[in-house]
Chains A and B, each alone.
Chain A
Amino acid sequence: MELSRRSFLDAFGVREAASLSAAFVAARGREAAVAEAAAVEAAGDPAEIRISSNENPLGPGPAAMEAFTRAFQDAGRYPTNARPSMGDLREAIARRLSVRAENVALGAGSWELLRSAVRLYTSSSRHLVTASPSFESPEQMAQQLGIPVRRVPVDKEGRLDLEGMARAARWAGLVFFCNPNNPTGGVHSARAVAEFVGRVRRESPETAILIDEAYHDYVTDPGYATSLPLALEHRDVFITRTLSKAYGMAGLRVGYAVGQARTIEAFNRWAITFNQNSLAVAAAVASLGDPAHIDAERARNAEVRRFTTAFFQDRGLRVLPSETNFVLVEIGRPAKDFREACAKQKVMVGRDFPPLEKTHARVSLGTMDEMKRATQVFGAVLGK
C-alpha cells in the first residue's frame, strides 16, 4: 500500500481511537488549561468522550497527514530550512486568501498572535475591550501586563453587543472581536461587522481591532463573511485564524494573522523565533491545498450540530445559536455540577465561562457517534 493511502486512512478513525493507549488519551487536552485539571487527571480511560476544547475529533485531513509523515526527514532542520519552509507556509496562506505573503503573520497557534496584539496595541492608558464571555487569551495577557480591561456583556442571544463595544472602544488600544464568538457560538453578519469597524475607526481612530475568526471554517450562515477585506482596507484592523479547529491541527500549533503589510510587520517583529514546527508547516501547506476536506468537515460538523441542538431543544433547554463546533446550552444549573456529573459518566464538557457559569454549559461537538452517546449521558444527568 502506498504511503499516501496508508496515511490517508489514518486521517479518520476516531472510533478506533477509542481503543487507545493511555498516552494518547492523556493528550486529549485542554483549550485553556486551568479549569480542566481534573478532567485531564481523569484521562486514560478509552471510553471517555472529550468534548471540552472545541477540537476537531477527526484530526487533520489525509493530505495533511501524508505531508506530515514525509516531512519527518527534515525534523533536524530549522523550519526556515525545511521543505516546505515557514516561508512556503506564508505563501500558501497568502495564495489561499488571495493576499500577499507580506499580509500574513504566522503564530504558534493564534494564541501567540492574540497575545502579541495585546502587547502591541494596549498600555496602562490604552485599555483592552473584550466581550463577556469571550475567548480569554487577550484578557489574560492584559491582566498579566497590568493593562485595564473593559468587558462588554453579550446580549441575550449570546451575541457581541456591537453598540456597547463601540462605546467602550473610545480611547481603547485594542478591541477583541471574536466572530463567531467563543463560547457563545453566534456570528455577526459581514455588514454588521463592517459598520462596527467603520464606526470605531471614525470615533476612535487610534484603536486597533482584532477580529478573531478561529471558527470561520465552521460557519454555515449565509449572512456571514470573513472580515478579511476590512483588514486589508484599514490600518491596525486584522483578522486571526487558526488551524486548530476545522483543520484538525490543535496539537500542531499553527495560526496566522492577516492585515495590511505595515500592521503585520509588527507581529513578525514580535513573533517567537521559529514559531512553526516543520512537520506542522508541511501538514498545513498540504491542508490549505485541500479545501474539499474542509468543506466535508464543515458539513459533518453542521449535521452533528443540528443533532445536538435538537436534542437540547427537544428537552426544553435553550441553545444559543451556534455557527461553530460547540454549543452553549442554558442548562439552568451551575456548569460545574453538570460537568462533574458528566465526567462521572466519562463525558468531558467545557470549563466555566463567567458570568454565565451558573446557568450555561459549553459542549463541544464530537463525532455523531460520540454525540449520540454523550446526549444519553446529558439526558440522564439533566433528568430529561
Chain B
Amino acid sequence: MPFTRRAFVRTLGIGGASLLAARREAWAGLGEGPGAAAAPRPLLLHNNENPLGPGQAALDALRAVMGAGAPAGRYVFGRVDELHAAIAERFGARPENVVTGCGSTQILRAAVQMLTSPTRPLVAGELTYEECAGYAELIGTPVRAIPLDAALKLDLNAMADAAKGAGVVFLNNPNNPTANLHSGDAVGAFVDRVLTASPDTTVLIDEAYHDYVTDPSYRSQVPAALKNPRVIVARTFSKAHGMAGMRVGYALGHPDTIAKLEAWESANALNVAGIVVAIASIRDQARLEAERDRNTRARQFTLDWLAKAGFTATASQTNFVFANIKRPCKDFRDACRAQGVIVARDFPPFEKSHVRISIGTLEEMKQAADVFGKILGVKAKAA
C-alpha cells in the first residue's frame, strides 16, 4: 500500500477494504439519497430554472467520470477541448467556432469588454437581460437603452436606428423578462440592416431560451454567427439543460471573433463537473425535446389560467411568463412569498403592473395558481 493511502487510513480510521471497488460504488449515490433538495423549500418561480435539473444521461456521465478517479483535484484544460468539440459537433461547426465560460454571462461580459468603449456605446432594449448593460456601466461604456414597442417586444427598428457607431447591439431572443420573440426573418433582416448601416458594430444575440421555443417562425442566428465575424450567438446550459448550478455557457461565432474572445480565458472559470455534464447533455437531444414539451404544457396551463382569470400575458416562448396583474409587482410578490411561492423581482418600468413568473413543473404551477388565485381575488369558478 502506498504511503499516502496508509496515512489517510491511519488518520481517518479506515483500513483494509477493497478501495477500488468501494470507489466505483461511491458515485452510484450521486444524485440519490437524502440531498439538499429533499428538504422542504418554497416554490422557486423567480430565476427561470429548469425544475428537474440535468437529465439521466448527464447524471450517468458524471458518475462514470467522477467514479473513475479524482478529477475534481485536477485543472480542467484537456477536458475543455472535449467540450468545445461536443458543442461544435452539435452545430455542425468546428471547435474554433466555440468559446465557453462560467455561464454565458461571462462571455457576454467579455464581448462588451472587447467591443465597446467610452466612444463605442452598447445598444440594448430598455427591458432585456441586464448583464451587458450592467457590465457596460462598470467599464464606462455608454448604453443606448431603447424602449420596448407597444406589444412589449424589443423594438428592432429603433434598435437598428440606434446602432450607428455602436460597439455592440445586444439582442436577447426570446427576450428576458418579456418572454416573447422575433421571427427568424425579422432578426435576420435586423442583423443585415445593422451590419450594413454600421460596419464596426457587432450584433450579440443571446439565445438563452432557444430550447424552449415552440413558435415555428423562430430561427436561431447561429448560421449567421458562424459566417460573419460581427455576429455572435450566446447560449447557456442554465435553462433547458437544467444546469444553472453548474455554470457553463458558450458562444458561437466566426473563428476570428472567437479567438479574440478566447483571449479573455473564460474557460479557466469552468469546473470539471459542469464540463462533463454539459458534454453529455448536449448529446442528449431527446431529453432536451422532452424538457421542451414538459415546459410547454406547464407554460400553457399557466397562460390559460391567467387568461381565464382576466389577466393578459405576453406570448411566452420561454420557461417564464410576463403577466399584467394590474397591481404593483412588489405587493403580489410579498403576498406570494407569505404563501410559500417565490416570484421574480421588479422589472422597471413595468414594476407597477407586471410580474415575471418562472415555469416549474405542471404540479408546481397548479399549486402556484391556487396561491395566485387567492391573492389576485380570482373566483374559483373563473379560474
Chain A residues with CB under 8 Å of chain B are 1, 3, 6-17, 20-21, 23-24, 26-31, 33, 40, 43, 50, 53, 55-60, 62, 64-65, 68-84, 108-109, 111-112, 144, 244, 248-253, 269-270, 272-280, 282-283, 292, 296, 299-300, 303-304, 367-369
Check A28–B78 contact: CB distance below 8 A.
Answer: yes
Check B244–A56 contact: CB distance below 8 A.
Answer: no
Number of A-B contacts (CB under 8 A): 305
B377 CB within 8 Å of chain A: no
A residues near B3, Cβ cutoff 8 Å: 300, 303, 367-369
Minimum CB–CB distance for B231 against chain A, Å: 23
Q: Assuming A23-B82, A70-B34, is B72 touching A252 (CB within 8 A)?
A: yes
Check B73–A248 contact: CB distance below 8 A.
Answer: yes
Q: CA of A16 to CA of B103 in the docked complex: distance in angstroms? A: 33
* Interface segment out of the listed B61-69, B158-166, B333-341, B343-351: B61-69
Q: Which of A112, A277, A299 contacts B245 (CB 8 A)?
A: A277
Q: CA of A299 to CA of B20 in the docked complex: distance in angstroms? A: 24
A residues near B30, Cβ cutoff 8 Å: 69, 72
Check A73–B73 contact: CB distance below 8 A.
Answer: no
Q: CA of A274 to CA of B106 in the docked complex: distance in angstroms? A: 9
Q: CA of A10 to CA of B102 in the docked complex: distance in angstroms? A: 27
Check B4–A58 contact: CB distance below 8 A.
Answer: yes
B residues near A6, Cβ cutoff 8 Å: 22-23, 25-26, 28-29
User: 5 nearest interchain CB pairs?
Assistant: A59-B70, A76-B53, A59-B73, A278-B245, A251-B272
Check A3–B29 contact: CB distance below 8 A.
Answer: yes
Q: Which of B36, B59, B68 contacts A74 (CB 8 A)?
A: B36
Q: CA of A314 to CA of B247 in the docked complex: distance in angstroms? A: 47
Q: CA of A189 to CA of B77 in the docked complex: distance in angstroms? A: 34
Q: Assuming A75-B246, A274-B247, is B271 touching A252 (CB within 8 A)?
A: yes
Q: CA of A334 to CA of B153 in the docked complex: distance in angstroms? A: 62
A residues near B103, Cβ cutoff 8 Å: 272-274
A residues near B31, Cβ cutoff 8 Å: 69, 72-73
Q: Which of B14, B47, B247 has the most CB of A within 10 A?
A: B247
Check B78–A249 contact: CB distance below 8 A.
Answer: no
B residues 1-42 touching A (CB-CB < 8 Å): 2-5, 7-8, 11-12, 14, 17, 19-20, 22-23, 25-39, 41
Check A26–B82 contact: CB distance below 8 A.
Answer: yes
Kindly report which residue of chain A lies nearest to residue B80, judged by CB atoms. Answer: A29
B residues near A20, Cβ cutoff 8 Å: 68-69
Q: CA of A112 to CA of B109 in the docked complex: distance in angstroms? A: 13
Check B70–A248 contact: CB distance below 8 A.
Answer: yes
B270 CB within 8 Å of chain A: yes
Kindly report which residue of chain B lies nearest to residue A144, judged by CB atoms. Answer: B263
Q: CA of A33 to CA of B79 in the docked complex: distance in angstroms? A: 12
Check A273–B243 contact: CB distance below 8 A.
Answer: no
Check A1–B71 contact: CB distance below 8 A.
Answer: no
A residues near B2, Cβ cutoff 8 Å: 15, 367-369
Q: Which of B27, B78, B238, B265 contacts A26 (CB 8 A)?
A: B78
Check A69–B78 contact: CB distance below 8 A.
Answer: no
Minimum CB–CB distance for B179 against chain A, Å: 19
Kindly report which residue of chain A lies nearest to residue B34, judged by CB atoms. Answer: A70
Extra contacts, 16 of them, besides A8-B14, A81-B49 (Cβ < 8 A), are: A13-B20, A30-B77, A65-B72, A69-B26, A69-B29, A73-B31, A76-B54, A79-B244, A79-B247, A80-B47, A82-B36, A251-B72, A253-B271, A273-B105, A277-B274, A296-B12
Q: CA of A9 to CA of B4 in the docked complex: distance in angstroms? A: 13
Q: Which of B25, B59, B64 has the most CB of A within 10 A?
A: B25
Check A7–B29 contact: CB distance below 8 A.
Answer: yes
Kindly report which residue of chain B lies nearest to residue A115, judged by CB atoms. Answer: B265
Q: CA of A108 to CA of B271 in the docked complex: distance in angstroms? A: 9
B259 CB within 8 Å of chain A: no
Q: Which of B5, B138, B273 contacts A252 (CB 8 A)?
A: B273
Q: CA of A99 to CA of B50 in the docked complex: distance in angstroms? A: 36
Q: Assuming A58-B4, A283-B72, is B79 touching A9 (CB within 8 A)?
A: no
Q: CA of A269 to CA of B64 in the docked complex: distance in angstroms? A: 37
| 21 pairs, A vs B, C-beta closer than 8 Å | A6-B23, A10-B27, A14-B69, A28-B74, A29-B75, A60-B70, A65-B26, A69-B31, A70-B35, A71-B36, A71-B245, A73-B35, A75-B277, A76-B49, A80-B47, A252-B271, A273-B103, A277-B102, A277-B271, A278-B246, A300-B8
Check A275–B29 contact: CB distance below 8 A.
Answer: no
Check A280–B102 contact: CB distance below 8 A.
Answer: no
Check B51–A279 contact: CB distance below 8 A.
Answer: no
B331 CB within 8 Å of chain A: no
Chain B positions 65 through 109: 1 when the CB is less than 8 Å from some CB of chain A, otherwise 0: 111111111111111011000000000000000000111011001
B52 CB within 8 Å of chain A: yes
